[in-house]
Amino acid sequence: MINLFYNELLKAFYKRRTYISFILISLLIPAIVYAIDYGAVSLETKIYGQMQDSFIFIGSIINGYLSAYLIIAILITHMPFLSTIIPSEIISGEYSKGTFRIYLTRAILRRDVFFAKVFVVFLYTSMMMFYFFLYSLIISYFILGDGELIVFHKGILLLSEDDIIWRFMLGFIFSNFVMITVASLCLFFSSFSKNSVTPIISTISIVFVGSAISFIPIDIFELIDPYLFTGYIDIFLLAFHYPVPNEIFINCFLVCFSWSFLFILMAYFNFTNRDILE
Amino acid sequence: MLNFKNISKNYKTIKALKDITFSIPENSIFGILGANGSGKSTFMKIMPGLIYDWSGEIYYEDQLLIKNDMILRHDFGYLIESPTFYEYLSARKNLEILARVSNVNFKRIDYVLDLVELSNRSLDKVSAYSYGMKQRLGIAQALLHDPKILVLDEPNNGLDPNGINDMIRLIKNLKSDGKTICLSTHNLKDVEELCTDFTVFKDGLCSNSVSLSDQFIKSRRWVLSVKNPTLAISQIKQSDSFEYINSFNDNILIESKTNDTINSMNALLQDNEIYKISKESNLIEYF
């Protein structure tokens, strides 16, 4: 099993597409941080808004933590797309290129091959998300420095420096659960598909529809939304609420776990019983 | 050594294989001959477990194997259809990946690369390989775990004449090393030049195993090359001992009705100069 896992890692990390998400994050985040730094005054004015009539602000609220918070809050909705890069082709790619014809003729169980692939998908997604969070924080910190974090939740919430990092960690852990669910969905499509584009399109379409359900305030949608993993894509923001809504985080875990389990199970049965004809 | 009994496979409404039954003798080069769409490739994919849903029985060394038995992968090496590799990796890396899952010592990689004469290009990416080189690498990966039986699906397909000669030499060497080789082909010439035994697939059915030497002895077809083909053809047509079949490039294909073909032919064509007279297999009749 370790050999299979090592092979899957090798296959993934020798492919250029594996690095697309890391390169994008590496380029985009410094650009946004510099933009925030450059436009700090106008950003502050927008954030203060009419509050300047009621409060006297001394110093600047623009710092590394706020920058990382804003960057993650904005980009997290786009992370499902990056989460599909590896799972979209990890099965369908081998199927379409015919490499299963040499790989699966060895004395190995398809079950083991499948779980090695699942493990690599989960590892890749987690690494990408970790890099996204950590890099946002580090770059923002080095360019804009530290300070208290001001967020809006039932008014203004001012979080002290020692109350920030664990919230980022909490946000990372649960955002990662959601992205792993997205990756599992993509893996499920990959186990059916004969090319790597179809799983990406199918996954993103479902995320898009699910997000629409979350945003449209209709009774029936509000009823089903807590059971959809797409409703938790921006759960990162809830980590900065006071108090932290624990029940929503528990729901998020249960919902993501259930959907991931279902997607992986269906992909497993399809992969292990599929005739390799091409 | 290897017996197949009533192997059947259906694709929805299409019956791709219908009760395929034949045997492969030990240390033979066994040819599965058939036109495109006859069911050869489907059959080849059943053995390594690429096709899951099939019926029938496979006996290996008199032991009934369960469906998708691991012995079919431990003791067998496969090259199914065109050779496919991780093109973004070198040949050596590809073989390392396969050696790792087969628990094969990496030293064996050097041996098989040497065997297929790819040692000097082993660090090149597979994407830079010609089709013939990929085909040889395909043989190398099939031999990596030192299997007893080698299953090759159309090994000469897409190769140029030099590549075909290399492949024929390689397969004959493997037989000399004690391997049993099962290969599929739609090319009669492959069977004539390589195989010791064969079966013929047609519309999902197959013939019994036939020894090529037996079949050759039984054949009554001969090919003649003479100085004056037109005269020879008219003489053959008038003869009771021979039947004219056709001619091509000054070669005349005939069927002999006598047991003393060469002397009878010399007597019939005594006014003509005979350049060559050779026996021809009648494999075409099996199609």
Q: Is the pLDDT of residue B117 over 90?
A: no
Q: Which of B51, B97, B182 to mutate to test the interface with A (most CBs of A within 10 A)?
A: B97
The complex scores an ipTM of: 0.78
pLDDT, tens digit (0-9, with 9 covering 90-100), for A178-224: 999 999 999 999 998 888 889 999 999 999 998 888 888 888 888 88
Residue in B closest to A270 by C-alpha:
B52
Q: By the CB < 8 Å criterion, does A105 face chain B?
A: yes
**Is B98 in contact with A15 (Cβ distance < 8 A)?**
no
pLDDT of residue B164: 82
Q: Closest Cα of chain B to A190: distance in Å?
A: 18
The predicted structure's pLDDT at residue B30: 87
Which residues are CB-contacts of A70 (< 8 A; sequence separation ≥ 6)? A36
Q: Which helix (H) or strand (E) is A216 found in, with range?
A: none
Q: Measured between beta carbons, which residues in chain B are less than 8 angstroms from residue A100? A: 50
Predicted confidence at residue A194, as pLDDT, reads 84
- Res A52: pLDDT: 67
Top pLDDT among B212 and B94 is at: B94
Share of chain B above pLDDT 90, in %: 3
What CA–CA distance (Å, rounded) separates B196 from B105? 33
- In the predicted model, is pLDDT for residue B285 greater than 70? no
CB A107 to CB B74 under 8 A? Answer: yes
Number of inter-chain CB pairs under 8 A, A vs B: 81
Q: What is the pLDDT of residue A189?
A: 93
Whether A99 sits inside 8 A of B85 (CB atoms) is yes
Separation in Å, CA B121 to CA A172, A191, B117: 46, 34, 9
Name the residue with higher pLDDT: A72 or B157. Answer: A72
Nearest-CA residue of chain A relative to B93? A10
* B146-204 residue pLDDT tens: 888 888 888 887 777 887 888 888 888 888 888 888 888 887 777 777 888 888 888 87
The pLDDT confidence band at residue B223, using thresholds 50, 70 and 90, is confident
Contact call for B51 and A97, based on CB within 8 A: no
Residue B80 with chain A: CB contacts under 8 Å: 101-102, 105
Mean pLDDT of B42-53: 83
Q: Is B132 exposed, middle or buried (0-12, 13-18, 19+ CB in 10 A)?
A: middle
- How close A103 comes to chain B (CA, Å)? 7
User: With contacts defined as CB-CB under 8 Å, which chain A residues touch B149?
Assistant: none
pLDDT, residue B69, reads 72
Taking the domains of chain A in order of start, what are their residue ranges?
Answer: 2-272
Average pLDDT over residues B53-61: 85
- Higher pLDDT residue, A19 or B207? A19
